[in-house]
Amino acid sequence: MKKSIYTSALALLLTGTLVTGCDDFLEETNRQAISIPSSRENSESFVQLVNYIYEITRENTTHYQPDMLYVLEDLGTDIVTRASPLTGTDAINDYVDLNASNYVLQVYWSNQYKQIAAANTLLANADLIEGVEESLKNRGIGEAKFFRAWSYFNLVENYGGVPIVTEPITTAQSDFPRDEEQEVYELIVSDLNDAINAVDENPEEFGRVSKDAARHLLSKVLLTRGYKSFAASDDYTRAIALAETVIDNHPLEPTFADVVDIENQRNDEVVFSFLFGTETSSLGWGNTKHLLYKFEYFNYPGLARGSLYQNGIGRMPTPFFFNMFDEEDTRNEETLRYVIYADVAEDGLEVGDTAIYFPKTAWSQERIDSKPYAVINPDQYLVNDGVTNVHWPMFKKFDDPGAPFTYANERAFGDRDMVIMRGAEAYLIAAEAALQNNNPGAAATYLNAVRSRAGITTPLTAGDVDLALILDERARELVGEVNRWMDLKRTGTLISRVLEYNPHAALNNAIAEKHRLRPIPQSEIDASGKTISQNPGY
C-alpha cells in the first residue's frame, strides 16, 4: 500500500465551502487550510481529503491521550480490569462516580466527531473539485461514508442518540439537539449500503476500505440493531448473509499462530487493518497495541526496560479471562506469555534464563522456594509481592519486537499493522445472529470452524450454544481486537458479567442500569446551549 494513504499534505478541515468554522462544537475547526479556489482547481485535493480521513481515524484509534488508550473498548468489562490490588475506585472500570465531566468521555466524543467532520468535508465537496476521475470520486465517497458510519456506530452505542451532522458546519452554531437512536442507525445503514456499492471489491492497495470491510461493519451493525426495539425484521438474516460473504472471501488462516505472526500480518483472513510501517512520514504516533496488558516486569531480577517485552499501559486481564482456555486451545499460548526470560545477567541469572514463571496451576511454596526465579501463582496476580503491585502472564498477541520502550504519553513507534476486522469475527457475528434467529445448529457450525482452528477437537452441538458461550468464544479469539464493552452492551449482559467477573467492579458494586450508556460530556452540553440533553441518571 502506498504510504500516502496516511500522509496528507493537506491535513485539513476546510472552511467556507471547503473550510469548516465552529470553534467549539464537534471540533470542526480550521487548523490548516488552502484557499477554496486553488483547492477546487487541483484534483489532488480530493485524494488528500480522502487520505486525511484515513489519517485522522487511524491516529484517533491508536492515540487518544496518556492513560486513555482503548479504555472505552475493554476497561470495565468481564475480561479486562484495572491493574491494581483490590482496593480503591475507578470511574471507567468500577463505574464509581462516572460523570459528565470525565475527560476520557470528552476525548472519545470529540475524536468521533472529528472523523465525521473529515468525512463530511469530502462528501460536501466531491463534486466541486475539478478533474477528479469518476471512479476515483465514487470510491472516495464510499470510503468517507464507511468511516462516517463507523464513527456514528461508536457514538450511538456509547452515548445513545446523538446529533446527526452530515454537512460541514460553515457558521457558528450551538443548536444541536440529539437525534433518536433509530435515526442514527438509519444513517449508519444507509452509509454502509452506499459504501458497499462504491468502494472496490479488491483494492489494489492493502489497507484501503473494501466492499468486505463495509459488509463486515454492516453485519455487526445489523446484529446490534437486531437486539433493539426498532430492529428490522431481517436484521439477523442480513447480518448472516453479509458475514458469510466475508467468510467466503477471507478464509481462516491454518493456525492461530499464523494469525498473530508478525511476519504474516497481511494474510487472507484480514478484512481491514490500519497500516503503519517504519517510514517516519507514515508512522504517525505509531501502533500502541503492543502496550496492552503488560505490567512492570523490569523491576524483577534479570529484566530491564527494553524493546523485547515493552511497557504496559495500566490494565490487565481479569482472573476470569485467564481461566477461559481449555487445555488444548492453542490461543492460550499464542495470547499470553507464561514465561519471561532474563534479558540481562543479574542476581545469578544469565541472559536467556527464566526470570518469571506463571504456572497455570498453583505450585507449592516449597517448590517455589527451590527456584532461582520468581514464581507467581494464579491466586497471587492481584497481590503485592514486594516487587510489583500486580503481575500476570503478559499479553504477547501484539508483540512488536524492536519497538522502543516508551510510556503512554510518548510516541509508541509500533510499526505492526493494527488489524481491525478479520474473518474469524465474521464467523462469530454469524454465529450470534444465527442463535438470535433461532438456529443454534448453524451457530454451532460457525463456532466449530473457529474452535477447530484453535485446536479444539470436540465439536459443539446445537444444544451447547447459548449467548454466554458465544461471548466467551469472542473473548478467547478477539481479546484486544474488538470493543468488548460494546459486545456486552449489545447482548444485555454488561451489568451481570461485570459484577460476576470483574473483581474491582464487583468490589465496589456500583454499576447500574444507567451505565448501559455513557454520560454525554458536559462540555458538549454547555457548548450546545443546553440543546443536547443528558442521558438518564447522570
Side chain identity at 38, as an amino acid letter? S
Query: Residue 11 corresponds to which cell in the numbers above?
Result: 491535513
Q: What is the overall mean pLDDT for the chain?
A: 91
Residue 296 half-sphere exposure, CB side, CA atoms within 13 Å? 12
Measure Cα distances from 428 to 173, 321, 451 in Å.
43, 18, 11
Rounded average pLDDT over 262-285: 88
pLDDT at 11 over 60: no
Nearest to 12 by CA among 204, 476, 44: 44
Residue 64 has a pLDDT of: 56
Residue 312 has a pLDDT of: 82
Cβ count near 88 (within 10 Å): 12
Hey, which residues does 349 pair with through a beta bridge? 346
Residue 37 has a pLDDT of: 52
Crossing angle of helices 44-62 and 134-159, rounded to 10°: 30
pLDDT at 21 over 70: no
pLDDT at 286 over 90: no
Q: What residue has cell string 508483540? A: 399
pLDDT at 340 over 70: yes
**More reliable by pLDDT, 23 or 243:** 243
CA pair distance 394, 339, nearest whole angstrom: 9
**More reliable by pLDDT, 41 or 208:** 208
DSSP state of 337: E
Strands 354-357 and 270-274: unpaired
Per residue in 402-452, pLDDT tens? Answer: 888 888 778 888 899 999 999 999 999 999 999 999 999 999 999 999 999
Measure Cα distances from 173 to 22, 30, 121, 288, 535 in Å.
7, 15, 17, 36, 22
CA pair distance 225, 490, nearest whole angstrom: 8
Query: Residue 471 corresponds to which cell in the numbers above?
Result: 461471548
Contact (CB, 8 A) for 302 and 346: yes
pLDDT at 333 over 80: yes
DSSP state of 524: H
pLDDT at 506 over 50: yes
pLDDT at 203 over 60: yes
DSSP calls for 263-299: GG-S-TTEEEEE---S-HHHHTT-B-GGGTT---GGG
Count of helices and strands (H, E) across the chain = 21, 9
Residue 3 has a pLDDT of: 34
CA pair distance 107, 114, nearest whole angstrom: 10
Residue 23 has a pLDDT of: 34
Query: Residue 290 corresponds to which cell in the numbers above?
Result: 503492543
CA pair distance 276, 284, nearest whole angstrom: 8
pLDDT at 207 over 50: yes
Portion of the chain with pLDDT greater than 70, in percent: 91
Hey, which residues does 15 pair with through a beta bridge? 19
Contact (CB, 8 A) for 242 and 216: yes
DSSP state of 533: P
Query: Residue 172 corresponds to which cell in the numbers above?
Result: 457558528
**More reliable by pLDDT, 324 or 8:** 324
Residue 27 has a pLDDT of: 38
DSSP state of 464: G
Alpha-carbon torsion angle 167, 169, 170, 173, nearest 10 = 140
Contact (CB, 8 A) for 163 and 177: yes
Rounded average pLDDT over 116-132: 95
DSSP state of 19: B
Residues 6+ apart with CB under 8 A from 140: 46, 47, 49, 50, 122, 126, 132
CA pair distance 367, 370, nearest whole angstrom: 5
Crossing angle of helices 211-226 and 235-249, rounded to 10°: 150
